[in-house]
Amino acid sequence: INSMNYSASSIDDWQKIAEHVVKRLKSGTILALSGPLGAGKTTFVQALARVLGASSNPKSPTFSLVRGYYLSSAVSRISRLLHVDAYRLEKEEDLLPLNLDEELQEDGTMMVVEWPENMYAWLRRQKKVLWMKIEVMQDGKRCISFH
């Protein structure tokens, strides 16, 4: 995925991007999603969960900070998606009760983090972080880049 760029203007586009991303996911991968409010971060997580075979549609975990989804996909060895929304994190210590390091150790688990800027120090200590940036263009299209 290194330095790949995509654009999205419909749900189908998000689905296609998710299908490309899934091929590169491994157990323990963290997908860090950056972008302004309303850019489509949760929409992308929903498309990713569909591709991975989640039985329920992810909702933004803004108030619970983290939600987990079990997956039944044949396209990937990922069996659990943890969806973290760090928007309301004020300090990194707020992550401690979530036991994210332990949760990520469970075989087949991957994590998607919205608002990764709010937990940057923790993410820098992780081994498998894929950064995804969503920019909103003037015409409303989304420009998605990975690094």
Q: Which two tokens stand for residue 62?
A: 């803004």
For residues 95 and 70, what is the distance between their CA atoms, to the nearest angstrom? 22
Name the band, by pLDDT with cuts 50, 70 and 90, for residue 77.
confident
Residues 66, 126: Cα–Cα separation, whole Å? 18
- What does the alpha-carbon distance between residue 26 and residue 15 come to, in Å, rounded to a whole number? 19
Q: Per residue in 55-74, pLDDT tens?
A: 777 777 666 678 888 888 66
Enter the pTM of the model.
0.89
Q: Which amino acid is at 94?
A: D
Beta bridge partners of 66: 84
Q: What is the pLDDT of residues 19-55, one digit of tens each?
A: 999 988 899 999 999 999 999 999 999 999 999 988 7
| Cα distances (angstroms) measured from residue 108 to each of 18, 114, 128, 141 | 18, 20, 14, 33
In which band, very low, low, confident or very high, does the pLDDT at 75 lie, cut at 50, 70 and 90? low
